Structure 1
Amino acid sequence: MTIVAARRYANGKVHDLPIVLDGTPHSGPGGLFSGNAFDWIGLCEPSAAEMDLIRRQYGLHPLAVEDALNPRQLPKVDVYGKQLFVVARTAALGQGEEIVYGQTAFFLGKDFIISVRFGSNRAHTDLRRDLEADAERLSEGPDYVLHAVLDFIVDGYLPIADALEDVAQAIEESAIDAFPEPDTIRRIFRLRRQLRRYERVIGPMEEMVERLAQADLPTIDPSARIWFRDVLDHVRRAMARMRGLKETLAAIVETASLLEQHRQGEMTRQLAAWAAILAVPTAIAGIYGMNFDYIPELKWHYGYFFVWMLILGVCGGLFLRFRRIGWL
């Protein structure tokens, strides 16, 4: 059995009571553990047979179990009678700048919470220890545990935004000095593709948490909605940062293209100005290079100097004119 932790809590305290997961129908803590007692079971990548034991013991809906075993679900909240089924998506930076996704599903009843984690290396061990140290909060029940784990998952989005914002800033600064190299352009488009997928996978988290914060759902106490509103605020901030990052990457390409067009325009104007200046001596030399006997000033003693003065004068005038209008 891939159980990370299976404990029972009563009035915020941890009781060293083994929980046997053998498929026996769950009848609630009861007896010594009545009142605010509940079970918290954490599973990591369980098999279908193992999940079937959990399903039979806690009376989970088969469709919810099927979704929990499928690690490609989008974030959602489903109601099955008096139980709640929640799917959240985790995200972390893998090798390079690739975003790796995981999934954590929750089964929430009045006296239990079961988390099923796939594809995420961020275990809930430290979080569970922190919650167990705060008996007052833990005594509020499974809905508070759900809030704490969701908040833990959403906090994992922030390092992604921090890292990618640093990358975008470095690319943006280099693009100001020179048009990006082909490798940099490919890198930008890979990042934009990653962000589009992020928005598609993580985006529904906002709607899911909003429903937990506002809708009347079983096993969610109305007093706990304020905690989910805090998680909703964190989700919205994370999504806003990633959307802003996607716009920044698009602006980098656009701005770099405009700067490159400006540089090319300056170069074109300079070449056109020098071409106009050089056209003057070329034209005059071409005229006087013709094989005619009667060309004006051909026999004049000062004709050679006159032609040079004409070339220098016209070329100098053109140079000053182009310099004045900013072409040279």
Structure 2
Amino acid sequence: MTIIAARRYVPDPTGRSAARIPGPLALDDRFSAVPDGAFDWIGLCEPSLEEMTQVASHYGLHPLAVEDALNPQQMPKLDQYQKHLFVVARTATLEPGETLAYGQTAFFLGADFIISVRFGSSRAHLGLRDKLEADPERLAEGADYVLHAVLDFIVDGYLPIMERLEAVAHAMEESAIDVFPEQQTIRRIFRLRRQLRRFERIIGPMEEVCQRLAESHVALIDPTARIWFRDVLDHVRRAMARLRGLKETLAAIVETASLLEQHRQGEMTRQLAAWAGLLAVPTAVAGIYGMNFEYIPELKWHYGYFFVWGVILTICGGLYWRFRRIGWL
């Protein structure tokens, strides 16, 4: 069976902490009756239908929830059944090439058990389990506290992704100020925007799930535990705010680079127009005196050549001063 870990946590006589049964539970122990005040925490990784059916038959899991747990393409959601809650969360990792890969973790939360079914995520919960077992007083609060801890673990995985993508976006933003982005960079920007749009569609419903857990009356969630889910909700909202800000940054990169390029092209156009105006003066004068007519004014004047050059230089000097004054040169 693809059970990563299976533990039973029983309260101590004082009721202030929870102690786990030493070592992994054997199959017969794991499916024995749960004592009062205790709960089982079972972690499954990509189980088969037969394995999932065996667990479901013992804990009384609803067939529709089992079917959804085995489908790794579910959106985040929270469903209430008669004997348990069913929660779906989506995990995300940033792979090489700035590609986001998604996984799914489904939870069955009952009065005396919590079962996690993980698909596609490389972040196992073993380290989190050890951390919780090191704080038995918190663990004694029950299976709903474990649900909060795992959801918080999943949501915290979004923040490093945002940080890495923000670093990429800021680097592209700085380079776009100096030169217009190359075609390869523009493709990269649009790939990132497409990835973020999908990220928002997939992770966005997590905010609704956490809000229901934090603010609504949900069976099997102790009212005193809502404050923990409010913390998860706050983390989800931070991640979503950073995601939307990153989308705006990527859109602004293209827009800003386009405006800067238009400005640079406008400067070049003005400079070319100014030099064309300066060259037009001698061209026009030379064109007039290059006509093959015998009776052109001052054609046989001894100082006509120097006079024409003086006129050309005076006009060109005035135009140059004027263009410099208005910033065209």
Taking structure 2 as the reference length, the TM-score comes to 0.96
> Relative to 1, partners in 2 of residues 1:18 and 1:27: Cα closer, same or farther, differing over 3 Å?
closer
For 2:7, the equivalent position in structure 1 comes to: 7
Is the counterpart of residue 65 in structure 1 residue 66 in structure 2? yes
Looking at structure 2, the residues matched to 62 and 74 of structure 1 have their Cα atoms a distance apart, in angstroms, of 18
State the shift of 1:299 in Å.
1.0
1:18 CA drift (Å) = 2.6
State the Cα distance separating 1:184 from its structure 2 match: 0.7
Cα 1:21–1:146 change in 2 (3 A) is farther
* 1:239 aligned partner, one-letter code: M
Structure 1 gaps of 5+ residues are none
1:18 corresponds to which of 18, 25, 32: 25
Structure 2 distance, partners of 1:193, 1:154, is 21
2:20 is matched by which residue type in structure 1? Answer: V
Q: Deviations over 1:12-51 (max 9, x none)?
A: 10113735279x9x67413xxx2x2000000000011111
Q: CA deviation at 1:117?
A: 0.3
Runs of at least 5 residues in structure 2 that lack an aligned partner in the other structure: 12-17
- The whole-number CA distance in structure 2 between the counterparts of 1:309 and 1:319 is 15
Displacement of 1:215: 1.4
Q: How do 1:1-328 and structure 2 match up within 5 A? A: 1-11=1-11, 12-16=18-22, 18-20=25-27, 28-30=33-35, 34=36, 36-328=37-329
- Name the residue aligned to 2:15: none
Q: What letter is aligned with 1:216?
A: H
Instruction: Give, in angstroms, the shift of residue 127 of structure 1.
Output: 0.4
Secondary structure of 1:203's partner? helix
Contact 1:213 1:225 in 2 (8 A): yes
Equivalent residue pairs, number: 322
Secondary structure, in 3 states, of the residue corresponding to 2:191? helix
Aligned-partner residue type, residue 13 of structure 1? A
Residue 3 of structure 1 aligns with an amino acid whose one-letter code is I
Deviation of 1:133 after TM superposition, in Å, equals: 1.1
Structure 2 CA distance for partners of 1:21 and 1:300, relative to 1, 3 Å: farther
Cα contact 1:77–1:84 (8 A) shared by 2? yes
Quote the RMSD (CA, aligned, Å).
Answer: 1.3
Offset of residue 95 of structure 1: 1.5
Percent of pairs identical after alignment?
75
8 Å CA contact retained: 2:60, 2:83: no
Listed one character per residue, the Cα deviations across residues 84-112 of structure 1 (whole Å, up to 9, x for unaligned) are 00000001111121111100000000000
